[in-house]
A and B are shown apart, each in its own frame.
Chain A
């Protein structure tokens, strides 16, 4: 079935470092892809999305590009801040799907 595999954490970076969190998917067809973020003590928030191949989603300095050839949607940020410390989830769905499939999440800690 459709699934998402994320880079295992935890990831610890220093402030202003470059971030990459890998995400690959397995699906029949071309799903919409999402990154959600869960800050400590809060619910999941949509960070960015891409609905078709080669689309780039971006928000708050984060970016991810939908790569059909490699079935990937890696999350990147050029310069992380302490406030980016959170758990990041990659997810997919189809327009006719009844659910969203999530990866296991990657915990990011940014140290000053």
Chain B
């Protein structure tokens, strides 16, 4: 079946602009995660959704970052007033439930100039 998909695959934006990154999880997976991966590092947790609600947003670095999952499927990560330090690969993952193996999308490479 279809895996996790993410769009766009690449996004270049200017400092101060707003961006939205989209994730389409595996059908039927109730748990959805966002991670950020910097060069040479492992993914770092940002936020976890169980269904429509953000069950844990403790990894979001500051209030410029926000994510939604209004219908319990597709999720959007929103970044306001982007900064150069936000440049990274943003990964989305889904799993059948919390604590199970996670299936990752290909990521969105965000570059803030």
Contacts and interface: CB of A to CB of B under 8 A. Distances in A.
Interface stretch (A12-20, A43-51, A64-72, A73-81): A43-51
A103 B42 contact: yes
Interface stretch (B11-19, B62-70, B73-81, B103-111): B103-111
Contacts of A25: none
Interface in A54-112: 89, 91, 93-105
Contacts of A42: 106
SS class of chain B's interface: helix, strand, loop or mixed?
loop
Interface string B88-113: 00010100001101111111000000
Given A43-B106, A44-B43, A99 B99 contact: no
Contacts of B58: 98
Nearest to B48: A98
B42 A89 contact: yes
B33 to A, nearest CB: 7
B97 to A, nearest CB: 9
Nearest to A103: B42
Contacts of A24: none
A22 interface: no
B40 interface: yes
B61 interface: no
Given A95-B98, A99-B33, A99-B45, A46 B40 contact: no
Interface in A21-59: 32, 34, 36, 42-46, 49
Contacts of B33: 99-100
A104 B43 CA distance: 8
B56 A46 contact: no
Given A43-B91, A45-B104, A32 B43 contact: no
A46 B42 contact: no
Contact of A43 (B48, B98, B104): B104
9 contacts: A32-B101, A96-B99, A97-B99, A98-B48, A99-B48, A102-B43, A104-B40, A104-B42, A105-B42
Interface of B: 4, 33, 40-45, 48, 55-56, 58-59, 91, 93, 98-99, 101-107
